[in-house]
Structure 1
Amino acid sequence: MIDKPNNPFEDSALTTILVVSDMAKSKTFYVDVLGAKIFREYGGDSLVLEFLGNWLLLVTPGGPTQDKPDVHFVVPEIKNKVSHSYTIRVKDCHKSYEILKERGAEFITPPFVRGAETRCFFRDPDGHLFEISEYRG
């Protein structure tokens, strides 16, 4: 844990950046399917969303800038090779699954029971992976 006097993140918030290929399609998915709230839009190439108490920044692909001279922002190239995913802890996985499916989320499988956990996975339009998980401890 970081000491309060030496905390470099005092009064800060964490934002996750997701690179998307089609901003309109992604906006529809995150707002209409997942229920995210639009905080701010920047000229059609970036969108700030509030989702479950967190910030998501959707951006379109882009190349290096002066402050990140060797970095390229790209959409996931192979949807079945994941380096980042989200887990959303839910009260009732089956109920959440049905609601999201009805709204247009495409799941990899229906809810699967693994011991005290029931979970299933879906992707956004660009392949970013989400899990909904119910834990019965």
Structure 2
Amino acid sequence: MAKAPFPSEDMALTTILVVSDMAKSKDFYQNVLGAEIYREYGGDSCVLQFLGNWILLVTSGGPTKDKPEIQFMPPKNPNDVSHSFTIRVKDCMGCYETLKERGANFLTPPVDWGAEIRAFFTDPDGHLFEISQV
């Protein structure tokens, strides 16, 4: 069997987020974040395009033949983070105001750290997002 180059230009990376309520999550990603729905599958998964990246929203699911020990679950505790997104912006305060108006749930207003201004918000399941101005 021939080896394939890895990575290569024809590949793309998709982030999978497990959500508890697909309708609520789709609303957030479309109307708050501004992502575009690319494709939906049977009500339990939705592919989004956002800032040149793919995000796949899926509902909970148990083991399968190709992942026999794995359970897909939304975050149990939003204060325990193992994955987050950072969105680089030119105007943190302006983006904060726009996202807040659209319904984003920010942890605090933007904080100026000198070299960076940033603020964190969550999706309906607690997945963490940061807007960051450097």
Match of 1:9 among 3, 7, 10: 7
Rounded to whole Å, the distance in 2 between the matches of 1:27 and 1:111 is: 25
Query: 1:6 Cα shift?
Result: 6.6
Percent identity between the aligned chains? Answer: 69
1:91 maps to 2:90: yes
Q: How does 1:28-107 map to 2 (within 5 A)?
A: 28-107=27-106
Q: Report the alpha carbon displacement of residue 116 of structure 1 after superposing the two structures with TM.
A: 1.4
Q: Which string of whole-angstrom CA distances, capped at 9 and with x for unpartnered residues, describes residues 31-56 of structure 1? A: 00000000000011000000010000
CA drift of 1:115 comes to 1.2
Matching of residue 123 in structure 1 with residue 122 in structure 2: yes
Separation in 2, partners of 1:92, 1:77: 32
Taking the aligned partners of 1:61 and 1:134, their CA distance within structure 2 comes to 34
Q: Which runs of 5+ in 1 are unaligned?
A: none
| TM-score, normalised via structure 2 length | 0.95
Instruction: Give the Cα–Cα distance (whole angstroms) in 1 for the partners of residues 25 and 80 of structure 2.
Output: 20
The separation in 2 between residues aligned to 1:19 and 1:28, in whole angstroms, is 15
Secondary structure of the residue that 2:55 maps to in structure 1? strand
TM-score, with structure 1 as normaliser: 0.93
Aligned AA for 1:109? T
Tell me the distance in 2 between the aligned counterparts of 1:7 and 1:134: 36
Root-mean-square deviation (Å): 1.1
Q: Residues of 1 paired with 2:67 and 2:115: CA distance?
A: 44
Secondary structure in 2 matching 1:26: helix
The SS at the match of 2:17 is: strand
Amino acid in structure 1 at the alignment position of 2:95: S
How far apart are residue 7 of structure 1 and its match? 2.9
Residues paired across the two proteins, number: 131
Q: Which amino acid aligns with 2:5?
A: N
